[in-house]
Structure 1
Amino acid sequence: MDQFSHPDLSRRAALRGVATAAAAGGLASLLPASAGAADAVAKPAPVAYAQPPAVAGVRPFKAAIPQAALDDLKLRLSMVRWPEPELVPDWSQGVPLARLQALADYWQHQYDWRQAEAKLNAFPQFTTRIDGLDIHFLHVRSKHPDALPILLTHGWPGSVFEFIKSIGPLVDPTAHGGKAEDAFHVVIPSLPGYGFSGKPSTTGWGLPHIARAWATLMRRLGYRKWVAQGGDWGGGVTTWLAKQHADGLAAVHLNLPILFPPPLEDAPDQEEQATIAQLVAFDGNKSGYAKLQGTRPQTIGYALADSPVAQAAWIYEKLGEWTDSGNDPESVLTRDEILDNISLYWLTDSGASSARLYAESFTTDFSTQKLDLPVAVSLFPRELYHPPRKWAERTYSKLYYWNEAARGGHFAAFEQPTLFTAELRRAFATVR
C-alpha cells in the first residue's frame, strides 16, 4: 500500500449510507449548497517560475493527491466524535473545543486542497535520492546572476508551506522593494518523514545525518558557495551543517539558536534568569508533545494516522501557542494557510514519521554546539525562549549579526514573511 492509499471505508457498516450517497451524488451531495458554490468560484492561478537546468539524479515533481484521499478526508470529518469541552477558559488544557470545531467545519465544507497544490506547483519542485531516501524540495532560481544560494529548512509542526510567501521576495527582490544585490537562489527541502519526502525505514536519520544529506543536495545542485537558514528542527539541521563545515557553506542564520544555559561562572544576571525561567516553564508545562513524540512516536502515530481532527488539533495547538497571536492564530495566518500545512501532514500520513525525528534527535543532537563558521541570529518576540546574546558569543566564535525583530513568533517566515525576508537580506549582505 503506498502512502496515499486508504482502506475501503465500505467495511464500516456505520458509513455505508454516507458512502452510498457520495457514490450516487458525488461528494458535493454531502455538503451544504453554500459550500459547493464557494468551491466553484474561480481562483487566479499563481505566478509560475522557470525550471532550473536539469541535474542528473534530480527528478521533477508535482503535487497531485488522489481525489479518493480528499473524499476520504471529507468523509472522516463528517463522522468525528467530539469530546466534552475543556474545563478552563483558556488554552491551558489544549485547543478549546469551539475553536477546533470551527476549524474542522471549515476544513470539511469550504477548504480546497487543490489551491494548496497550485501554490506548491507554481514553484519548481523535485525529488532526489540521497542515502536511499527520496528527498522532496523546491528549487527556485533568481533571474539575477549574482544571487546567493540559500537553503531553508523547516521544523515541526511546519513544512515547506512556511516559506511560500518569502520565495518571491527572496528570488526577485526588485519586484518586492529590494535591490538586485539582495537576490537569492532558494532551495527548500522537506525533512525526511515530512510531506512529500520519503519516510526512513530504519533508525539513524537524526540531525547530523540530515545535515550531511542537505550538503549532498547542495553539491548535487552545483552550488559551491551557499548559506543556510532554519528555526526549530531547521535550526538544528542548520547548526549541524555549520558544525560539520559542509562543503561550500559560507554562513548560517538561525531564528531559534540552540543555546541552553552554559556553566555559569557567576550568578545568572537578570536576562539569564529570565531565559532559564522560560526553559523551566516550557519543560514543566509545554513540552508534553515533545516527550511523547520523543519516546512513543508510534503510539501517537496511530491517532494522527486515523483521525484528521487529531492531526489538526496536534498542530493547531502549536500554531495557537507559538505564534505572536495571543492564542488567535487566524489573526496572523489565514485558515487556508493553516489548513494547507495541516492537510499536508494528513494527506501524506506524516504524523508518526515526523514524530520519529524527536526520538532520533531531541535529547542528543538538539543541543548547544560550538560553531566557528559565521553565524547570524534573529530573535522574534514570541519565540519559545530568548537566549541572551552573551551565551551566543560564548558559543559562536564568529557571531556577526544579532537582531531582535518587532513582531513574530516561532514560525517567523510563516507569520511575518516581510520581516523574515528583511532579516535574511541584512544578515547575509556581507557574505555575498
Structure 2
Amino acid sequence: MVHGWPGSFFEFYKILPLLTEGRDGLVFEVICPSIPGYGFSEAPHKTGFDSIAAARIFYKLMQRLGFKEFYMQGGDWGGLITTNIAQMRPENVKGLHLNFFPVTKHNLQMLVSLLLGAYVPFLVGFTREDVKRIFPYFKKNVYEMLRESGYMHIQATKPDTAGCGLNDSPVGLAAYILEKFSTWTDKQFRDLEDGGLERKFSLDDLLTNVMIYWVTGSMVSSMRFYKENLNGNPEKRPDAKIGVRVPTGLAAFPNELLHAPLVWAQPRYKNVISYSYMLRGGHFAAFEEPELLAEDIRQFVKKVEK
C-alpha cells in the first residue's frame, strides 16, 4: 500500500488490522513503504526521481522481501507509483486496487461524453451516479480544481522556496498540511471555522502525520516530487503510452478531488474487474474510511482469486 502527499505510511495504521486479521478467508501481509523523500525514507540525491523511479525501487523492495507476486493498492502519488509497477512488471502483479485514478489523457470520447453525458448518459457510458458527481462540470471540476490546485503550481515550479519556509516553522507546516486534510476530505469543510478536521480524524492522528514531516525535515523533498513528475507534458511520459493489463479494482469515493467514470478509466486500465461507487469518503480513503476501503479490497481480491 502506497501513500501520497501530504500523507505518510501512518495513513494505513487504521486499515492494517482490518487486512492482517483473517476475514472472509483472506489474510494479508501488508507492506507500507514511504516514498523516497517522504518521512523516514531518504531523499533522492539526483534530479529526475519521478514516479517511475519510485516504482523501480518499490519493485526491488518487494523482490528483496521475498514477494514474487503481490497485490498493490494506492491513492494520490501511490496510485501512480503502483500503476507504474503494474506497467513495468505485470507478471509479478496479481492485482491493482486504486482509490485515486484521475484521467490525464483527454480525447474525443471524453469531450463527447462531457457534451452529451448530462442529457443522454447511457449513450456515452455514464451511470446516474457519474452524472451526479460530474455535472455541472465547470463548477464541480474546473472551478473546484482552480480553487484547490494552487499548491500544485507552487510545488511543481518552486518547491524549495516554499518548502524551506515550512521546514522552519512547525505552525506553518501544520497549517499547510492540515488544510488539505480539511478540503480534500470534504469540500464543504472549507466553510467551517475549524475546517471540519475532527469530523473524520482525531487531532492526535493528524498531528502524528504532521510530526513525521517535521522531525524528518522532509517537506522540501516531498514537495520536489511534484516538480520531478510535472516538469513536462504528462501525456508524453513513457507510462502514458502503456496500458495497464493486470486485474484492476477502482474505488470511486464521492468526495474525491476529481471523479473518473469507468468509461474514462478503461482506456488506460484495460482489465477493470471491479468498479465501486463508495458511499462516503474523500481523498485520504484509508485514513478516513478504513472499513469501506478494506471491504472493497477484499471483494476485489476475491474476484481475482476465483
TM bracket (short chain): 0.7 to 0.9
SS in structure 2 at match of 1:357: helix
8 A contact 2:256–2:282 mirrored in 1: yes
Normalising by the residue count of structure 1, what TM-score does the alignment of the two structures yield?
0.61
Q: State the distance in 2 between where 1:206 and 1:166 align.
A: 27
User: In the alignment, which residue of structure 2 is the partner of 1:423?
Assistant: 296
1:225 aligns with 2:98: no
1:202 aligns with 2:51: no
Q: Which amino acid aligns with 2:245?
A: D
1:171 aligns with 2:20: yes
Alignment of 1:7-22 (within 5 A): none
Q: Given the superposition, is the C-alpha separation of residues 363 and 231 from structure 1 closer, same or farther in structure 2, using an over 3 Å criterion?
A: farther
Q: State the distance in 2 between where 1:247 and 1:413 align.
A: 27
Aligned length: 276
8 A contact 1:275–1:385 mirrored in 2: no
Alignment of 1:126-145 (within 5 A): none
Residue 345 of structure 1: which of 213, 220, 225 is its match?
213
1:333 aligns with 2:201: yes
8 A contact 2:90–2:246 mirrored in 1: no
The CA deviation at 1:370 is 2.6
Runs of 4+ aligned residues of structure 1 deviating over 6 Å after TM superposition are none
Residue 244 of structure 1: which of 77, 88, 103 is its match?
88
Q: State the distance in 2 between where 1:247 and 1:357 align.
A: 28
Alignment of 1:393-412 (within 5 A): 393-412=266-285
Residue 214 of structure 1: which of 58, 65, 85 is its match?
58
Q: State the distance in 2 between where 1:325 and 1:287 align.
A: 13
8 A contact 1:205–1:360 mirrored in 2: yes
SS in structure 1 at match of 2:55: helix
- Deviation string for 1:45-95 (max 9, x for gaps)? xxxxxxxxxxxxxxxxxxxxxxxxxxxxxxxxxxxxxxxxxxxxxxxxxxx
Residue 254 of structure 2: which of 369, 381, 385 is its match?
381
The CA deviation at 1:168 is 1.0
SS in structure 1 at match of 2:30: strand
Q: Relative to structure 2, which stretch is displaced further, 197-206 or 320-329?
A: 320-329
Q: Which amino acid aligns with 2:229?
A: S
Q: State the distance in 1 between where 2:102 and 2:141 align.
A: 12
The CA deviation at 1:390 is 0.8
Q: Which amino acid aligns with 2:205?
A: E
The CA deviation at 1:267 is 5.5
Q: State the distance in 2 between where 1:275 and 1:397 align.
A: 28
Alignment of 1:33-432 (within 5 A): 152-173=1-22, 178-179=23-24, 181-260=25-104, 262-265=106-109, 266=112, 268=114, 269-270=117-118, 271=130, 274=135, 277=138, 278-324=140-186, 326-327=188-189, 328-362=196-230, 364=232, 370-432=243-305
User: In the alignment, which residue of structure 1 is the partner of 2:192?
Assistant: none
Q: Relative to structure 2, which stretch is displaced further, 265-274 or 332-341?
A: 265-274
The CA deviation at 1:247 is 4.9
The CA deviation at 1:287 is 0.6
Structure 1: state its 5+ residue gaps.
Answer: 1-151
SS in structure 2 at match of 1:227: strand
Q: Given the superposition, is the C-alpha separation of residues 238 and 226 from structure 1 closer, same or farther in structure 2, using an over 3 Å criterion?
A: same
- Deviation string for 1:111-169 (max 9, x for gaps)? xxxxxxxxxxxxxxxxxxxxxxxxxxxxxxxxxxxxxxxxx000000000100011111
User: Larger % of strand: which?
Assistant: 1
Rg (Cα) greater in structure:
1
Q: Which amino acid aligns with 1:166?
A: I
SS in structure 2 at match of 1:400: strand
Q: Given the superposition, is the C-alpha separation of residues 223 and 267 from structure 1 closer, same or farther in structure 2, using an over 3 Å criterion?
A: closer
The CA deviation at 1:238 is 1.1
The CA deviation at 1:261 is 5.7
- Deviation string for 1:385-424 (max 9, x for gaps)? 1111111223221111000111111000000111111111
Q: Which amino acid aligns with 2:70?
A: W
Instruction: Let me know the Cα RMSD of the aligned residues.
Output: 2.0
Q: Which amino acid aligns with 2:58?
A: W
8 A contact 2:40–2:216 mirrored in 1: yes
Higher relative contact order (CA 8 A, sep 6+): 2
Q: Which amino acid aligns with 1:388?
A: P
8 A contact 2:273–2:303 mirrored in 1: no
The CA deviation at 1:347 is 0.8
8 A contact 2:11–2:287 mirrored in 1: yes
Structure 2: state its 5+ residue gaps.
Answer: 119-129, 190-195
Q: Given the superposition, is the C-alpha separation of residues 364 and 430 from structure 1 closer, same or farther in structure 2, using an over 3 Å criterion?
A: farther
User: Larger % of helix: which?
Assistant: 2
